Structure 1
Amino acid sequence: MENIKSITHVILTGGVGSRLWPLSRKSRPKQYLDLFDGKSLFEMTFDRNRNIADRVMVVGNIDNCHLSRAVLEKTNTAYIDIIETTPRNTAAAIAFAAFASKSDDILIVTPSDHIIDGMEQYEAAMQEAIEKASKGFIVTFGIVPTKPETGYGYIERKGDDVVSFREKPNQVSARDFIAKGNFLWNSGMFCFKAGVLLEELKAFQPEVYEKSKIAWENSSKGNLDLDLSLAIPSISIDYAVMERSKKIKVVSSQFTWSDLGSFESVYDYLISIGHPVDENGNMVIGTSNYTAFIGMKDTIFVCTDTANLILKKEFSQDVKSLFSELERENSSLLD
């Protein structure tokens, strides 16, 4: 550990959280909602890594950078702010963070909207990842699955070697993965030396590398130019590097993890912290008004000032289609 110059926690805050509409809006995406024990997911993400990393970097966008700033100013934290003018997916976002670092710096990259419990296991996984990253590996974090979840991607592994990355499976494949026992949930968190990641990106996606470099070199105080950003191919880090590099290792961990990507996962989390449900499993989110459910079970009522949503828990993934429909109509309800 002595030879490590700097560990930077890179927080990616780009997502809108379309599956959590109407709670999550473009002006206040899910990672900034104070829904969870009075803190936002963004603040919790920052908190859990403050003892591990000695620098913080936030890669966000023009619409939400002020929300990140408010949280970090409240905690008196100095940080490096990288502001995207247009979303270009995770390969570009991570490339900017790497270009803003020294080659030997170790970056821990996490989304800003995940719930994690079990800090001892989490910190052990981080230390193992930092050790592997210092040897030149790109580390991905796999979570030991607790159920055949269809909302997550999976990592097939042999020891700490990755055999394959799998897209979100259907129910049959998910059960099959669990039965095989060597599949982990793909958490979307990574750890690597900045220079190693950039070398691999350059090898496998030279255009993303070159165009991101140009955009970064022409940025001013972390603000990226719109036209130069639009020239960068929009591709995820998984496709760009993870699924192709020979330097990937996986750290497997038992900490409790959820990406809170749907109302079903929010429902499960809220139940775990004592949020009330009625005897038929119906839940109210967003209002303290008396609400009665008659003839319904496992239904979630989501209340906001300008829009309400009523859904059966198992249809949680369908909220994204509703969001897309409102987007096509250019609805102000998304703002």
Structure 2
Amino acid sequence: MGATYHVVLTGGVGSRLWPLSRKSRPKQYLEIFKNDSLFELAVKRNQKFSDGLIVVGNRNNRNLSIRSLEKLGVDNYYEIVEAIPRNTAPAIAFAAFQVNPDDILVVTPADHIIKAGQFYDKAVSKAIELAKSDNIVTFGVKPTRPETGYGYIESDGQSVLSFREKPNLETAKDFLHKGNFLWNSGMFCFKAGVFLSELQKYEPEVYNNSKEAFEKANDGMLDEELSMQIPSISVDYAVMERSELIKVVNAEFDWSDMGSFEAVYDYFLESGYPVDEYGNMVIGCDKFTAFVGLKNCIFINTDDAILILSKKASQDVKGVYQQLVDKNSPLIQ
């Protein structure tokens, strides 16, 4: 029987959490979750299931990952450093090339908040058992609201009927009413060889070019020129939506992709973080701050920027970030 590895994907920036999240300090490394970062929580949460750790990230994040792992006392792991982001299908392929074909990979993003405990343990254990039978397993989270910021999985028990893109509000309400639609968590479990076989079947160019880049890497550091030859494609498009081996685990653990200040707000509130009588929250500032005539707003303060937003407009922060990108502003660095 092969070994089980935890693969943590840690290449994102987290533009919707600007100004806390920057290129130099993406959201997964912010130590704002009871003195832990999301990256650290992901590593700790999966240690009980894994015989080893594989970290796939970009060169800009490498030192942040190393520092976090040193903090956790983790010094035995595989490191794959992407020269340039090519999306999740190649990233997962690199991890699969790193191990034996019969080894099982539990793949998780580094920037999600998940409540550890029996429900999480049960879901991962179930996924590993399904993966042993050559299934490619995705985790679908039971929705608690008509969320428009997540993709969905239409399911029938463990069978996947379809993958759906982020819906509008009316469609999300319909999904919630039907009861067999799950949030697509972006977490997966499979044998390395099974995944690579399906990737080769459906996206041979991604498979071949990723293999070449991996084989010619220098101590896990991928070459930029070879990396540019790899088509940039998500694992959902490359494999999940096309393979006949897909199974879904209906996960009942609390989950959020922590992709907006609304998610941060909800997590902080549940953790006992203070708000005023109208539900307004201050992050990053100890000064007295008063909200007049406002409800459910968030005030975010950093050394060089202030963001004030309505909680329900959290998804729009990405537009502010893009404006700063267009201006080549130092505030995104």
The alignment's TM-score, normalised by the length of structure 1, stands at 0.98
Q: Aligned AA for 1:12?
A: L
**Deviation string, structure 1 residues 4-56 (Cα, Å, up to 9, x no partner):** x2000000000000000000000000000011111111000000001110100
Q: 1:127 maps to which residue?
A: 125
After superposition, residues 18-37 of structure 1 pair within 5 angstroms as 18-37=15-34
Q: 1:261 maps to which residue?
A: 259
Q: 1:8 maps to which residue?
A: 5
**Deviation string, structure 1 residues 219-264 (Cα, Å, up to 9, x no partner):** 0100000010011111100000000000000000111011110011
The Cα shift of 1:118 comes to: 4.6
Q: 1:177 maps to which residue?
A: 175
Q: 1:54 maps to which residue?
A: 51
Conserved in 1, the CA contact under 8 Å of 2:149 and 2:166?
A: yes
Q: Secondary structure, in 3 states, of the residue corresponding to 2:150?
A: coil
**Deviation string, structure 1 residues 37-93 (Cα, Å, up to 9, x no partner):** 111110000000011101000001100111111111222211101000111000110
1:231 aligns with 2:229: yes
Q: Secondary structure, in 3 states, of the residue corresponding to 1:274?
A: coil
After superposition, residues 84-123 of structure 1 pair within 5 angstroms as 84-123=82-121
Cα separation, 1, equivalents of 2:285 and 2:219: 41
After superposition, residues 1-335 of structure 1 pair within 5 angstroms as 3=1, 5-77=2-74, 78-335=76-333
Conserved in 1, the CA contact under 8 Å of 2:8 and 2:55?
A: yes
The Cα shift of 1:310 comes to: 0.6
Cα separation, 1, equivalents of 2:310 and 2:69: 37
Cα separation, 2, equivalents of 1:74 and 1:23: 21
Q: Secondary structure, in 3 states, of the residue corresponding to 1:198?
A: helix
Q: Secondary structure, in 3 states, of the residue corresponding to 1:51?
A: helix
Can you give the 5+ residue segments of structure 1 that lack an aligned partner in the other structure? none
Number of equivalenced pairs: 332
Conserved in 1, the CA contact under 8 Å of 2:146 and 2:169?
A: yes
The Cα shift of 1:328 comes to: 1.2
Cα separation, 2, equivalents of 1:74 and 1:34: 12
Cα separation, 1, equivalents of 2:312 and 2:169: 13
Conserved in 1, the CA contact under 8 Å of 2:199 and 2:207?
A: yes
Q: Aligned AA for 2:232?
A: S
Conserved in 1, the CA contact under 8 Å of 2:45 and 2:116?
A: no
**Deviation string, structure 1 residues 78-109 (Cα, Å, up to 9, x no partner):** 11010001110001100100111110010000
The Cα shift of 1:329 comes to: 1.1
Q: Secondary structure, in 3 states, of the residue corresponding to 1:211?
A: helix
Q: Secondary structure, in 3 states, of the residue corresponding to 2:259?
A: coil
Q: Secondary structure, in 3 states, of the residue corresponding to 2:121?
A: helix
- Larger deviation: 118-127 or 50-59? 118-127
Cα separation, 2, equivalents of 1:247 and 1:119: 28
Q: Aligned AA for 2:110?
A: S
Q: Secondary structure, in 3 states, of the residue corresponding to 2:172?
A: helix
Cα separation, 2, equivalents of 1:206 and 1:322: 38
Cα separation, 2, equivalents of 1:235 and 1:288: 43
Percent sequence identity over aligned pairs:
60
**Deviation string, structure 1 residues 160-187 (Cα, Å, up to 9, x no partner):** 0000001111110011001001011110
Q: Secondary structure, in 3 states, of the residue corresponding to 1:11?
A: strand
Can you give the 5+ residue segments of structure 2 that lack an aligned partner in the other structure? none
Q: Aligned AA for 1:79?
A: Y
CA RMSD across the alignment: 0.8
